[in-house]
Amino acid sequence: MIIRHALPRLYAPFRPYASLSSSRRAFSTTELSNGITLAYDLHEPSKDAQKQDNEDAPPILFIHGLFGSKKNNRSMSKVFARELKRPVYALDMRNHGDSSHNPTHNYSALAEDVELFIQHHNLSKPTLIGHSMGAKTVMTVALREKVPIANLIPVDNAPVDAALHGDFNKYVQGMREIEEAKCKRQTDADAILKKYEDSLAIRQFLLGCFVRSEEGTYTAKVPLKILTAALAHMADFPFKDPDQTRFEGPMLMVRGTKSHYVADEMLPTVGRFFPKFELADIDAGHWVISEQPEEFRKAVVEFLQDKD
């Protein structure tokens, strides 16, 4: 449900989208003109479900958060493809999942990757959905005005400079310790992470960033050194003055009422950058999509069906 009033702000621990899965599946890749290769899954509506008069339905790009990947959004992407009858591209951003690594990791670079992906695939006025790091990325794309965007849905992050939750620094420490310990068993790796994080679900989410080396040891799939250096950039937002640039299209800001990333005092700034924004408050912490998937689905479907 889309609501336009503020709810009391509470606090809750982080929760991941999904637990660790050892299964592998095929995915596609696109080499961009800037040298970055992005991996992605394409979820298409069934032929029977497609609207006869809407064969070229506007696509959706779904972007994960820090330490996440395209697999986090797999289930919800399938739901949106089926219910909205649109193709959904779930991306791995640079330095995440199966995409390539690069020492530059900030929102301008992430936005450029998305823009080049849209141009490469000739996607016409897509909808952009992004959580956390992905939320700031999609808002940056919209404000850069390099590609036409129909609308966007940032999830639990605001267009402001705001410090990251301190847990992210702890997560990096734990992940580095796993590599240094050369763990060969998941139980050993999990025991190390337990020193930094009590939640089993979050530990499983972080273990999803690892693969087994040829020697059988747990090795981080993500470039920990690059992402550690990028933590400060992830707290920033590249645009400072709403009077200089705005996105005049529709936007749905989804926030968890138990999270602090989109506090009430940030909403006036959101409105200056995105004057047509609507607000969906969901009873969840920062990990809105996994904590309340049905409420998130309803908010997004209601918003996008109204725009068709």
Residues 91 and 134 in one domain: yes
The more confidently predicted of residues 204 and 218 is 218
Residue 127: pLDDT over 70: yes
- Which among 228, 263, 281 is the end of a domain? 228
pLDDT at position 26, please? Answer: 74
Residue 52: pLDDT over 60: no
pLDDT in tens, 244-272: 999 999 999 999 999 999 999 999 999 99
C-alpha span between 270 and 171 (Å, rounded): 29
C-alpha span between 187 and 210 (Å, rounded): 13
Confidence band for 25, pLDDT divided at 50, 70 and 90: low
Residues 114 and 138 in one domain: yes
Q: Is residue 275 part of a domain?
A: yes
pLDDT at position 166, please? Answer: 67
Residues 176 and 268 in one domain: no
pLDDT at position 250, please? Answer: 97
Residue 6: pLDDT over 60: no
Sign of the Cα pseudo-torsion (210, 13, 1, 277, in order): negative
pLDDT at position 280, please? Answer: 98
Give the largest Cα separation in the chain, rounded: 58
pLDDT at position 169, please? Answer: 87
Q: Is 262 exposed, middle or buried (0-12, 13-18, 19+ CB in 10 A)?
A: buried
Q: How many domains does the chain have?
A: 2
Half-sphere exposure of 296 (CA within 13 A, CB side): 28
Between vectors from CA 72 to CA 265 and to CA 30, what angle results, nearest 5°? 105
Residues 218 and 257 in one domain: no
Q: Identify the residue whose tokens are 């299209």.
A: 249
Q: Is residue 8 part of a domain?
A: no
Confidence band for 23, pLDDT divided at 50, 70 and 90: very low
Between vectors from CA 230 to CA 34 and to CA 222, what angle results, nearest 5°? 75
Q: Is residue 6 part of a domain?
A: no
Residues 120 and 249 in one domain: yes
Give the catalytic positions in this structure: 132, 286
The more confidently predicted of residues 167 and 170 is 170
The domain that contains 81 carries what CATH number?
A: 3.40.50.1820
Residues 179 and 46 in one domain: no
Residues 160 and 171 in one domain: no
Average pLDDT across the chain, whole number: 88
Q: Is residue 21 part of a domain?
A: no
Q: For residue 98, which phi and psi values (nearest 5 degrees)?
A: -100, 10
Residue 68: pLDDT over 60: yes
pLDDT in tens, 75-93: 999 999 999 999 999 999 9
Region 47-63: what's the mean pLDDT? 73
Buried b or exposed e, range 182-207, using 16+ CB within 10 angstroms: ebeebeebbebbeebbeeebbbbbbb
Percent of the chain having pLDDT more than 90? 77
Confidence band for 185, pLDDT divided at 50, 70 and 90: very high
Residue 106 and residue 99 in contact, taking contact as beta carbons nearer than 8 Å: no
pLDDT at position 90, please? Answer: 98
The parent domain of residue 199 ranges over 167-228
Rg (CA), the chain: 19
Strand-pair partners of 281: 255
Residues 126 and 191 in one domain: no
Q: What is the pTM of this model?
A: 0.88
pLDDT at position 9, please? Answer: 31
C-alpha span between 259 and 111 (Å, rounded): 24
Percent of the chain having pLDDT more than 70? 88
Q: Is 232 exposed, middle or buried (0-12, 13-18, 19+ CB in 10 A)?
A: exposed
pLDDT at position 98, please? Answer: 95
pLDDT in tens, 135-161: 999 999 999 999 999 999 999 999 999
pLDDT at position 21, please? Answer: 37
pLDDT at position 7, please? Answer: 31
Helix (H) or strand (E) holding 142: helix 133-144
